[in-house]
């Protein structure tokens, strides 16, 4: 089967998953009541499950494609969307809001999502400023700066948790266990255009990503402006991750697993790999979130627990397959 045929098959499977997932759950839907606004089935379907499926698809798509970009740019098979400290910065912003107790009428509407996004954006700017201190942007310095900010933000979060009251500590912990259950319709209307712009921007660099895979020196010799490409992709991916993390919290391993699976099963050429990763990531997270809703129903697990349980064995597989990290 050709790569294009596999891609269309993936689109079809993803469509089926999205269509079926809202009908799966602990509450048995009466299909005749779904369109009746006075019935609970209408709320369960349109007010709860359908928004969560859409949120899961958009979140998974951005995470998977972000992982693909970072793995390509840094030439690191275990690079993830959170490698450069965006998630820890967003978590720090949310933690600061929670422990501050600033729930006055004038700013309550901002919520932890706003502060999480601000923390993620600040981390992005800090990492870029550190990496560009010498005047040029290199993937290695960008990676090292991200790791440093990641550890620093994580240390500050632990500091806040150590002195926080039990209620605030619980809220911080719940936020840091990523879940799509808290994403609202308003979040979706904001994330949807972001995901489209993100996909279009990344796809427009599919040729540059193919050439970058051969090495920076070869890319230079073929006319690729490596610094410009890395800078644009870094900010595009990081801002998208900051927005997703602010709404859902950190959800690990999606950005590491999906690009590898798609490379192996469909194609390693970015013209095919980018859209395939985008749709596969979305469908994968929707499946994980659906499973998280029903595995111990009526209690729901955060989807990050499921992705981590799947991601850890996959990580071990990469170690065994590659012989080394």
pLDDT the model gives residue 106: 42
* H-run or E-run covering 321: helix 303-322
Instruction: Break the chain down into helix, strand, coil percent, rounded to 5.
Output: 75, 0, 25
Residues β-bridged to residue 299:
296
Query: Token pair for residue 286?
Result: 């929707």
Residue 112 structural domain: 3-322
CA 312 to chain centre: 17
Residues β-bridged to residue 296:
299
| Phi, psi for residue 296 in degrees, rounded to 5 | -130, 40
User: For 224, how many CA atoms within 13 A lie in the half-sphere containing its CB?
Assistant: 24
Q: What is the DSSP letter of 33?
A: G
Task: Assess contact for 231 and 113: CB atoms under 8 A.
Answer: no
**pTM > 0.75: yes or no:** yes
| Phi, psi for residue 269 in degrees, rounded to 5 | -85, 125
pLDDT the model gives residue 325: 44
Cα–Cα–Cα angle for 265, 270, 272, rounded to 5 degrees: 55
| Phi, psi for residue 135 in degrees, rounded to 5 | 105, -20
CA 90 to chain centre: 12
pLDDT the model gives residue 109: 41
Task: Assess contact for 119 and 187: CB atoms under 8 A.
Answer: no
State the residue for tokens 């089967």. Answer: 1
pLDDT the model gives residue 102: 60
Number of separate domains in the chain? 1
3-state secondary structure of 296: strand
Q: Any idea what the CATH number is for the domain that residue 122 is in? A: 1.10.3470.10
DSSP, residue by residue, 169-213: HHHHHHHHS--STT--HHHHHHHHHHHHHHHHHHHTTHHHHHHHT
pLDDT the model gives residue 13: 94
State the residue for tokens 């995470």. Answer: 63
- Between CA 197 and CA 190 the distance in angstroms is 12
Query: Token pair for residue 298?
Result: 């009526």
Instruction: Write out the chain's pLDDT in tens, 325 residues.
Output: 788 899 999 999 999 999 999 998 888 887 778 887 778 888 888 888 898 999 999 999 999 999 999 888 888 777 787 888 888 888 898 888 888 866 443 444 456 678 888 888 898 889 888 888 766 777 778 888 888 998 999 999 999 988 888 888 888 888 888 888 878 787 888 889 999 999 999 999 999 988 887 777 777 777 778 888 888 998 899 889 988 988 888 898 898 899 999 998 998 899 999 999 999 999 999 999 999 988 887 888 889 999 999 988 888 887 777 644 4
Buried b (16+ CB within 10 A) or exposed e, 157-181: beebbeebeeebbebbeebbebbbb
- Those residues whose C-beta lies under 8 Å from the C-beta of residue 104, and which sit 6 or more positions away, are none
């Amino acid at each position: 089967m050709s790569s294009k045929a596999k891609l269309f098959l993936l689109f079809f499977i993803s469509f089926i998953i999205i269509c079926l997932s809202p009908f799966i759950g602990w509450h048995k839907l009466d299909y005749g009541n779904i369109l009746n606004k006075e019935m609970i089935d209408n709320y369960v379907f349109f007010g709860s499950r359908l928004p969560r499926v859409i949120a899961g698809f958009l979140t998974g798509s951005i995470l998977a494609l972000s992982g693909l970009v970072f793995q390509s740019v840094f030439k690191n098979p275990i690079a993830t969307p959170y490698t450069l400290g965006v998630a820890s910065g967003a978590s720090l912003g949310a933690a600061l809001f929670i422990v501050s107790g600033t729930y006055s009428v004038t700013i309550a509407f901002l919520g932890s999502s706003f502060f999480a996004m601000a923390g993620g954006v600040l981390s992005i700017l800090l990492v870029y400023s550190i990496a560009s201190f010498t005047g040029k942007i290199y993937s290695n310095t960008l990676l090292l700066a991200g790791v440093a900010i990641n550890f620093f933000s994580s240390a500050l979060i632990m500091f806040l948790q150590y002195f926080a009251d039990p209620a605030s500590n619980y809220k911080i912990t719940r936020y840091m266990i990523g879940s799509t259950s808290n994403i609202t319709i308003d979040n979706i209307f904001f994330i949807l255009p972001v995901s489209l712009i993100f996909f279009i921007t990344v796809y427009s660099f599919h040729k540059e990503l193919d050439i970058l895979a051969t090495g920076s020196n070869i890319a230079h010799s073929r006319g690729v402006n490596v610094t410009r490409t890395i800078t644009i992709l870094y900010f595009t991916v990081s801002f998208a991750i900051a927005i997703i993390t602010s709404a859902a919290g950190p959800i690990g391993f999606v950005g590491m697993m999906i690009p590898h699976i798609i490379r192996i099963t469909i194609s390693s050429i970015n013209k095919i790999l980018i859209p395939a990763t985008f749709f596969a990531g979305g469908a994968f997270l929707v499946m994980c979130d659906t499973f998280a809703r029903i595995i111990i129903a009526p209690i729901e697990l955060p989807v990050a627990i499921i992705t981590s349980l799947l991601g850890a064995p996959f990580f071990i597989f990469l170690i065994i397959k590659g012989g080394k990290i």
